[in-house]
Amino acid sequence: MSNRIIVTGGAGFIGSAVVRHIISNTADEVCVIDKLTYAGNLESLAPAATSDRFHFEKADICDLAAMEKIFSEFAPTHVMHLAAESHVDRSIDGPGEFIQTNIVGTYTLLEAARKYYSTLDETAKEKFRFHHISTDEVYGDLEGPEDLFRETTPYAPSSPYSASKAASDHLVRAWKRTFKLPTLVTNCSNNYGPYHFPEKLIPLVILHALDGKELPVYGKGLQIRDWLYVEDHARALYLVATTGVPGETYNIGGYNEKQNIEVVKTICSLLDELRPKSDKKSYAEQIVYVADRPGHDMRYAIDAGKITRELGWKPLETFESGIRKTVEWYLAHKDDWCANVLSGGYKMERLGKGE
């Protein structure tokens, strides 16, 4: 039998990739729950939204009554919880929203799931899973150049964002141990790819470069991140939700460690090739170095060996193939999806539809 999957935050960057993957590659039904904050974009769901297996509910995960109603009416077999505030700089400027959405929202969703789970028969309980999608930032940063984040790495969050995600991870594990809710947790490295909101490094650099703007790099750009193509992540998340072992944590990484400055220069080189300037100058001349953010972690790197050994997942994209696909996508969609996001038009379209 096919699955019935709730995806919270399904209009966001990773969530929409998960939804597109499910609709395109399985027979499952999907119910997207999204509050449609600034980062929620219905246009990112357009490839999936025409399917009769796609459903959408505009709702806040902090609204218990709304969550209970959706659980009751949709009757999910799986929950994939991606709804979160996720931008570190925004968490520094205004931590309160991160506490509310990432901690209170996760608690509320767990309670709705627990109530729903209690109504299921034993066969349905055996199938039900609550999959919480988290981040590698809960681990803090790495000291040695050879060290990696593993599922057993102690938590040491550095920002309000990562602290709020760490708290939500602990709640999910507590609901498994105390209430026997069958939960799973995944922690992933930095994602990139199509439909990424332009405040994040890679889309920001692409669009700023094309517009002739400065390309801001924190500090000297020596911070190291492990980059994971979003479609590889979507495959991994679906695999964990449907075949992972309750109570387990799976780290998901791309095996692509790059310094931020290396990422920026790679994008500039691709743009030099794919969209050369009329004056023949390199986009790299637009790079500027700015003051580092407070508490900036220096290095993240994931050991994804467990999910490979136990579930058979591995990334299909190298950084070189994935970043080329990403740049090509933004070049192809600069005048539609990107323009609509940058102008705020995607928000106005919601209002016009009574949302």
Catalytic (active-site) positions: 136-137, 161
Map 305-348 to HEC letters. Answer: HHHHHHHCCCCCCCHHHHHHHHHHHHHHCHHHHHHHHHHCHHHH
Helix (H) or strand (E) holding 173: helix 160-179
Closest CA to 35 of 17, 68, 4, 61: 61
Helix (H) or strand (E) holding 29: strand 29-34
Distance from C-alpha of 180 to C-alpha of 165, rounded to nearest angstrom: 21
Strand partners of residue 227: 190
Residue type at position 325: K
**CB neighbours (10 Å) of residue 154?**
7
Q: 137 near 84, Cβ under 8 Å?
A: no
The two tokens of residue 176 are: 């498994």
